[in-house]
Amino acid sequence: MSPATTVIAPDHVVTQRSRAALWVIHGGAWLALITYCWTAWIVSGDFNTNTIGRGQEPDWYVALMRGWEVFALVCTVMIIWTFVVRPKLRTGRFSFDGLFVIACGLMFFQEPWINWTSYQFLYSTTSINFGSWLSHIPGWSYPHAELVPVSLWAGTAYFWLVAIPAMAGSKFMGWLTRRRPGISKLNLIAVTYLAFCAFDLVLESFITRTNLFSYGSVIPSLSLFAGTDHQFPVYETVSWAGTYVFLACVHFFRDDRGRSLPERGIEAFHVGDRVKTFFRLLAIVGMCQLSILLTYNIPYQLYALHSQMSPVYLEQPWRLGGVCGPGTNFDCPGPGVPIPRSDSETNRTR
């Protein structure tokens, strides 16, 4: 191949650089928002462990939670060492997988956004928690959001239950393309999506059965085991599998230089290598934040309009955490129950 055929046209370089700049700015905006909200949460005094209901849960549940938290910590340390720290020590640079794992970890920021307009997803005050940063998010709607006991293990799970499955999905896509060289991108994504649906259904069936977290408010007609303490909305799998396949596509569809879509063009920036690496991280962070926002958190606000709290949770204060239900000024979601705003004193009509 002659040298002339390998030269990228200047206008193409400019276009890629401009697109990359937008991705970097977009990711930077997300990182700024995350930094602001978490800092405000810590310095405001809302960074407190929610212990409402502790001591009322079964002993087996306490033992399970403590064991699970240790398991989560070990998994997280291993993943960060394997994909982030060790490659950096060996090569002096962060690998794509390392940046991808970090970006997936930061998706934890949107973990409790499912509760933006209605209290749907329940953690447990039994778990290690420090309340939540939700009330410090501009535009947040649901009241008493600082009490939502976001489990610390749920944050670590974005490394081992999000990043790792997404990378596994990328490998699955590679396997499919080798097995069926002529497969279209649409079919490749569709098959991977269905595989993630099966994976998520098995995974979350275990988690909800053990009450590690719970879908408190669901649409009963679209849920399995509705009315029990392990009810499971089928649309959860529909949405979360979408997040998984989005992330798998980010990881899989890279060019011959190993660059994911938002990174392409960053190499043309006239900055040092360390700054370029940081810009790459910002671009990937922005893409990962979009994945959960578009496929999960926005659709869930529509589901929330038709959801209702199972009565079984009203008798389990360690799940509700004082956000709604008995002993509070707010009724939990249900038919005829007004949706409160952050400045509402109550949503009770009588």
Please report, for residues 17, 165, 172, 266, the alpha-carbon distance to residue 277 in angstroms, rounded to integers and kept in the order given: 15, 24, 27, 9
Per residue in 1-41, pLDDT (tens digit) is 444 444 444 676 778 889 999 999 999 999 999 999 999 99
Continuous H helices in the chain: 10-44, 59-80, 86-91, 96-105, 152-157, 164-179, 185-209, 234-252, 273-292, 298-304, 317-320
Residues 27, 281 contacting (CB under 8 angstroms):
yes
Burial of 335 (C-beta count, 10 Å sphere; 0-12/13-18/19+): exposed
CA atoms within 13 A on the CB side of 147: 17
- Provide the β-strand partners of residue 223: 233
List pLDDT tens digits, range 319-348. 999 999 999 999 999 999 999 999 999 999
* pLDDT, average across residues 206-218: 97
**Mean model confidence pLDDT for the chain:** 95
pTM score over 0.85: yes
- Whether residue 282 contacts residue 31, with contact meaning beta carbons closer than 8 Å, is answered with yes
pLDDT in tens, 35-70: 999 999 999 999 999 999 999 999 999 999 999 999
Give the tokens for residue 128: 């290690």
**Helix (H, G, I), strand (E, B), or coil: what is residue 133?**
coil
- In tens, the pLDDT along 93-117 reads 999 999 999 999 999 999 999 999 9
Residue 213's pLDDT band (boundaries 50, 70, 90)? very high
Distant-in-sequence, close-in-space partners of 239: CB < 8 Å, separation ≥ 6? 295, 296, 299, 300
Could you tell me if 251 and 166 are in contact, meaning their C-beta atoms sit under 8 angstroms apart? yes
SS (H, E, C) 65-102: HHHHHHHHHHHHHHHHHHHHHHHHHHHCCCCHHHHHHH
Give the angle subtended at the CA of 235 by the CAs of 99 and 335, to the nearest 5°. Answer: 125
**pLDDT tens-digit map of 278-294:** 999 999 999 999 999 99
Q: Please tell me the predicted confidence (pLDDT) of residue 4.
A: 45
* DSSP string of 7-69, one letter each residue: PPPHHHHHHHHHHHHHHHHHHHHHHHHHHHHHHHHHHHT------TTTTSS-HHHHHHHHHHH
What are the structure tokens assigned to 320, written together?
Answer: 């509700």
| Distance between CA atoms of residues 119 and 132, nearest Å | 13
| Cβ–Cβ under 8 Å, residues 227 and 310 | yes
- Report residue 129 CA to chain centroid gap: 17
